[in-house]
Amino acid sequence: MSDLFSYPHQPGAQDRDTSRDAATAAAESAPLLRAKALAVLERSNGLTADEVAGRLGLSILSIRPRITELSRLGKVRDSGQRRRNASGRNAIVWTPIYPARLAGQRRTA
């Protein structure tokens, strides 16, 4: 059974005080940031985490973990494509499982 009070529903943390403090601080904003990131991805043909952050005008440090959480929640997937990010490295191009163009066809569980 899924625990709604643990990762990926809540920010994860390593077994260090600084990591736990960061996860606690992010917990309040994480659901809204996940929703915003997902909305951007649902209306795209695939974006890197850097591109999502850019479209939202937010730090990659606040968005990249939210994309990972969305992946673990089964809301986005690795498209198999790669694009260079701001650091010059290849980055995953994420695509939504249910793009906005299919929203009318989406079944609710």
Q: Residue 45's domain is classified under what CATH number?
A: 1.10.10.10
Count of domains forming the chain:
1
Using DSSP's 3-state secondary structure scheme, residue 20 falls into: helix
The answer on pLDDT for 82 being more than 80 is: yes
78-85: average pLDDT: 97
Rg (Cα) of the chain, in Å, rounded? Answer: 14
The answer on pLDDT for 22 being more than 70 is: no
Q: How far apart are CA 63 and CA 54, in angstroms?
A: 10
**Which pLDDT score, from 0 to 100, does residue 13 have?**
53
Task: Let me know if residue 38 belongs to a domain.
Answer: yes
At 35-63, the pLDDT tens digits run 999 999 999 999 999 999 999 999 999 99
Task: Let me know if residue 104 belongs to a domain.
Answer: no
Task: Let me know if residue 11 belongs to a domain.
Answer: no
The answer on pLDDT for 31 being more than 70 is: yes
**Greater model confidence, 5 or 48:** 48
Task: Let me know if residue 103 belongs to a domain.
Answer: no
Task: Let me know if residue 7 belongs to a domain.
Answer: no
